[in-house]
Amino acid sequence: MSERSSKRWRRATISINERALKNNLHKVREYAPNSKVMAVIKADAYGHGMLSIAKQLVDADLFAVAMPAEAFALRADGCTMPIVVLHGFVDMAELEQFAKQNISTVVHQREQLDILLANDISKPIDVWIKIDTGMHRLGISDAEVGTYFEPLRKCKNVANIYMMSHFANADDSKNSLNNIQLELFLNVISYYDAACSMANSAAIIGLHKSHFEIVRPGIMLYGSSPLCGTSATTLGLQAVMQFESRLIDIKVVKAGESIGYGSRYTADKDVTMGIVAVGYGDGYPRHAKNGTPVWINNQRCALLGRVSMDSLCVDLTSADVNIGDRVVLWGKELSVDEIAQFSDTIAYELLCSAGAASL
């Protein structure tokens, strides 16, 4: 375990469980044994710390980041792995940096194609053509692929061409768009000779036909379940981020009294209440509902009232705890997926927020 919080003046800490990370990468290989693994480490490795996560994931085959600056930071830190920038470059200066630093680019729109074709760069780079098969975010239409592939194939700036697409609903295995996207992608790629990538975490587990040559796991590497209704433990995944703080006060709130901002919770009987030194300033979700579980001294306790900037309240009526006890907000004992459900969000957002708050 390594602790990454540099905000020493806050009590909340984030620790990274490297063994869990390695276990999860191993699981990716079990789910997709015939594919290379492009580990998605964008957004500071989903809040886990991109540079240190990259060092722990040397057994992956490639890395994916969203922004050029993320790729440059990895190279500056000595990372020699193949890196793909999912948003690609926006101008010639960035493209030349890709060439100099041996970074691969996604091409998802015409401007990028034109820049690549019209200029000379110092060294050819690998190019990933992103095809929009139904997500309707980044990517070119299936009808346009030929107008990208052929010029890129002849372009001296291009080393290898790959094809990729991204699912919109892979977390919901019953969603009919999954197969529509897959069939469209299969049809397009049948006309070209290129290695392909489509599967994110959910598709790695649930859509085997989408594995192709390279899979792109993100959330499952960090130990959260990518599938609605299936727990991470069931999938063999282990929590990488351990988010903890301490219990700093215990008091009794009398029947009829309310707790916290907005008086959202009113006690219907006398309640022993604890105050934990963590809040939305640490990345804990402000929208967590009454009853959200908090783990204190091996007991599940329930959140009471609204989360504040640096504290939250819990029901200790039937708990055996003391001031100073360790409190787990999420991690090994308490799944971040469960906290996400109680907060009407997804684990991705919670991990990113807690990670960002710890910087």
Residues that bind ligand PLP (CB under 6 A): 40, 86, 166, 200-202, 216-220, 226
Residue 102 is which amino acid?
A: N
Least distance from ligand PLP to the Cβ atom of residue 335, Å: 16
Least distance between ligand PLP and beta carbon 202 (Å): 6
Active-site position among 191, 209, 251, 261 = 261
Catalytic residue flag (residue 222): no
261 catalytically annotated? yes
CA atoms within 13 A on the CB side of 300: 9
Compute the least distance from the CB of residue 218 to ligand PLP, in Å.
Answer: 2
Q: What is the CA radius of gyration of the chain?
A: 23
State which residue, 92 or 177, has the beta carbon closest to ligand PLP: 177
User: Is-contact 114 147, C-beta < 8 A?
Assistant: no
Cβ-based neighbours of 285, under 8 Å, separated by 6 or more = 307, 339, 340, 343, 345, 349, 350, 353
- Dihedral sign computed on CA atoms, order 319, 320, 321, 322: positive
Rounded CA-CA distance 102/198 in Å is: 23
- Positive/negative CA dihedral, 355, 319, 234, 290: negative
Residue closer to ligand PLP (CB basis): 40 or 316: 40
> Which residues 6+ apart lie within 8 Å of 274 measured at CB?
247, 249, 250, 296, 301, 313, 314, 315, 316, 319, 321
Residue 219 vs 339, nearer CB to ligand PLP: 219
Closest residue to ligand PLP: CB criterion: 218
Given 27, 31, 42, 148, the catalytic residue: 42
Nearer to ligand PLP, 108 or 306 (CB): 108
Q: How far is the CB of 105 from ligand PLP (least distance, A)?
A: 13
Q: At closest approach, how far in Å is the CB of 137 from ligand PLP?
A: 8
- Indicate the helix (H) or strand (E) that contains 8: none
CB closer to ligand PLP out of 48 and 166: 166
Q: Which two tokens stand for residue 310?
A: 């640096």
Tokens of 286: 């402000």
DSSP type of residue 289? P
Q: Give the C-alpha separation, 24 to 120, whole Å.
A: 41
Report in angstroms how near the CB of residue 203 gets to ligand PLP at its nearest: 8
Instruction: Report the amino acid identity of residue 166.
Output: H
- C-beta closer to ligand PLP: residue 197 or 245: 197
Q: What would the two tokens of residue 5 be?
A: 């919080």
3-class SS letters over 31-67: HCCCCEEEEECHHHHHHCCHHHHHHHCCCCCEEEECC
Q: Which of 58, 67, 112, 72 is nearest to 85 (CA)?
A: 67
Shortest distance in whole angstroms from residue 222 CB to ligand PLP: 8
| Residue placing its CB nearer to ligand PLP in the complex, 165 or 292 | 165
Residue numbers annotated as active site: 42, 261
